[in-house]
Structure 1
Amino acid sequence: MSYESAARRIKRAERIVVLTGAGVSTASGIPDFRSSEGLWTEDHAREYYMSNDYFQKHPDDFWKKYKAIFRLKLLQEYRPNNVHQFIHELESDRRNVSVITQNVDGLHQLAVSSSVLEYHGSLNHSFCQDCGRSYPLESVMETMVPVCRNCGTTLKPGVMLFGDLITAHDEAEWIIKEADLLLVMGTSLQVTPFCLLPYYAGEQGRTSSILINNEPTDKDDLFDIVFHDDLSYAVQQLQELL
């Protein structure tokens, strides 16, 4: 299929849902944590350290490792790239665009996308498990181990840890149910249950679908149109046609 065909489907769509993964943020300098060059491949024990179980048992050591692994000191230096901007620019008076992202970097919000569901949470805030008070990233970076100013409890990151329950899946399905186009960008669709969302879109019967990823996925056959291209190149092609 051609980019012309994809552009025609985007032009016809009135309600687009965009699923995004780590590939969308790599052009902003944020590494893909599970690619061949990603951070997780450097040390598989990191999944153990970034678990809810490890946080509950060793909160002080967890925070030291968490800040190093996610490079929190650099987070505020990252900026949206042309893929984030393209997704925002799809919005119009006629077209509603919702983003469901695996990314925890907050770049879709910085690109001013109107509707963003952070499926795996966010690095930009943490919260107290006892009183529920939320704290922004700036506050979390003031000390090595952040604690709640209200009750002294060690804060928990707003990002989903291994072993946490996914709470956004039902909302994601509800958003997809209303869509007439599913656009999936920069994800290998390997992480459950996020990878089930394209199946749900297909069950709706009226949802067209496009996948853009830099390499094949085992879900390619679920989509009407598939591109194995660099995302920056792909959005440039689409922008010229739209």
Structure 2
Amino acid sequence: MRHEFVLPITPPSTVEKKSQTEDHRNEGLKPRKLLPQLKRSVCNRKPRLKYRPELNTVFDLDAYVDLPHSSKLRHHHKGNDADFIKYALNYSKRMVVVSGAGVSVAAGIPDFRSSEGIFSTVNGGSGKDLFDYNRVYGDESMGVKFNQLMVSLFKLSKDCRPTKFHEMLNSFAKDGRLLRLYTQNIDGLDTQLPHLSTNVPLTKPIPSTVQLHGSVRHMECNKCLNVEPFDPAIFRCDDEYDSPTEIIPSCPQCEEFETVRKIAGLRSTGVGKLRPRVILYNEIHPEGDFIGEIANNDLKKRLDCLIIVGTSLKIPGVKNICRQFAAKVHANKGIVLYLNTSMPPKNVLDSLKFVDMIVLGDCQHITSLL
């Protein structure tokens, strides 16, 4: 009868077991430190909101900041409103900010619509005409004035530094709490900061900052769409016709392509013109569809805070974006703040519908609440 060889259930005593310390498969793996992660998640947990004001409640920021500490304690309702703003700034996890020229005034850059703004003080009080596409590119004298303004704003923006409010937004972006900054400003102060940088032109992945109206820091060819850093030296800023510079300079890249085509015996396709990459009235926004796509995707996120700051919302497209974001944040039981130096018009508030608090005063003072 044949006997089958049966292996022992356990190794014989003569077989040396391999020590677990000699198992190299787990070399390089580090034990997870779960306790610090748990503590961090508890610290970052969003506390319950204990107070919510009535819609369109007005908070005088400048007056509150100027109050001595003892007076702030006596004014209980003002303290509640201030705490509401602090809660929004400290604990919101997914914020959207729509900013206007008022954010950069403290840096030394004028706004547009105030009595000291560009519209009132430039071109004999008709500064708005210098932002009209048909006026600027339909008349040589207006073209020269437009160049003067763009060169002036470019040099001013290069000399100015981001404000405390810009720095605050940058810290929100660094912490991963700022979903998007939609800026109407063309000075580029915000995009100087590392966590508010952007892509010019806009490309995926979507940057933290979306420039709604372009920037004086770039110029673009209307034909080949080549984007370059703004060069003030090539734009004519005087009325002398023998000037070596042009009112609307030719594109060097197009000229190079034309030279190559001529050598190759190919027909001419024309040379484009360079212009500051600033969006004007009465022109089609070259990135309008893409910006709309970005905004629609952001609206699908669980937004918990909208801050509208330094703008009167006179641009219909921007007001529409704010209206949609305000409705989304309100539906998510989030917070909508409107920061401005003057009271927003009633028709704007009626359009937005869901503004929790109107914060009147210098937006730079909001940083002192933190």
Residue of structure 2 equivalent to 1:48: 129
Q: Say whether 1:211 aligns with 2:335.
A: no
Which deviates further from its counterpart, 211-220 or 114-123?
211-220
Count the aligned residue pairs.
236
Residue 123 (1) aligns with residue 204 (2): no
Structure 2 residue corresponding to 1:172, chosen from 295, 314, 326: 295
| Counterpart residue identity of residue 112, structure 2 | F
Which of 311, 314, 317 matches 1:193?
317
Shift of 1:160: 0.4
Which structure shows the bigger proportion of residues in helix conformation? 2
2-side partners of 1:36 and 1:66: how far apart?
20
Worse-superposed segment, 205-214 or 101-110:
205-214
Q: 167-176 or 223-232, which moves further after superposition?
A: 167-176
Find the partner of 1:150 among 233, 253, 257. 253
**TM-score, normalised by the number of residues in structure 2:** 0.59
Question: Is residue 2:363 matched to residue 1:231?
Answer: yes
Structure 1 residues 94, 29: closer, same or farther in 2, change over 3 A?
closer
Structure-2 change in CA distance of 1:38 and 1:93 (3 Å)? closer
Q: Deviations over 1:74-95 (max 9, x none)?
A: 2311210111001111234452
Deviation sequence 1:12-64 (CA, Å, 0-9, x none): 32211111001000001110111121111234543334322234434x54542
Deviates more, 1:94-103 or 1:39-48: 39-48
Q: Which amino acid letter does the alignment assign opposite residue 154 of structure 1?
A: K
* Structure having greater relative contact order (Cα 8 Å, sep ≥ 6): 1
1:14–1:7 CA distance, 2 compared to 1 (3 A) = same
Is the contact between residue 223 and residue 273 of structure 2 (CA under 8 Å) also seen in structure 1? no
| 1:161 maps onto 2:280 in alignment | yes
Distance 1:44 1:165 in 2: 26
Q: Which has the higher strand share?
A: 1
* CA–CA distance in structure 2, aligned partners of residues 80 and 106 of structure 1: 9
Q: Which TM-score applies when normalising by structure 1?
A: 0.87
Deviations, residues 196-237 of structure 1 (Å, cap 9, x unaligned): 222102332214211111111023453112210211112222
> What's the offset of the Cα at 1:162?
1.1
Q: Deviations over 1:102-145 (max 9, x none)?
A: 101111111222510001111111111111111211x3434423
Tell me: CA distance 1:170–1:35, structure 2 relative to 1, closer, same or farther (3 Å): farther
The alpha-carbon distance between structure 1 residues 50 and 189, as it changes in their structure 2 partners (threshold 3 A), is closer
CA 1:209–1:177: 2 relative to 1, 3 Å: farther
CA–CA distance in structure 2, aligned partners of residues 211 and 94 of structure 1 = 22
Aligned amino acid, residue 217 of structure 2 = N
| Distance of 2:299 and 2:216 partners within structure 1 | 25
Alpha-carbon distance between aligned partners in 1 of 2:220 and 2:176, rounded to the nearest angstrom: 37
**Where in structure 2 are there 5+ consecutive unaligned residues?**
1-52, 54-80, 198-207, 237-245, 255-270
Aligned to 2:113: 34
Identity of aligned residues (%): 25
For residues 3 and 66 of structure 1, the distance between their equivalents in structure 2, rounded to whole angstroms, comes to 43
3-state SS, counterpart of residue 106 of structure 1: coil
Task: Decide whether the 8 Å contact of 1:90 with 1:97 is kept in 2.
Answer: no
The CA distance in 2 between the partners of 1:35 and 1:88, in whole Å, is 27
Q: Does 1:80 align with 2:152?
A: no
Aligned partner letter, 2:318: F
Q: Which runs of 5+ in 1 are unaligned?
A: none
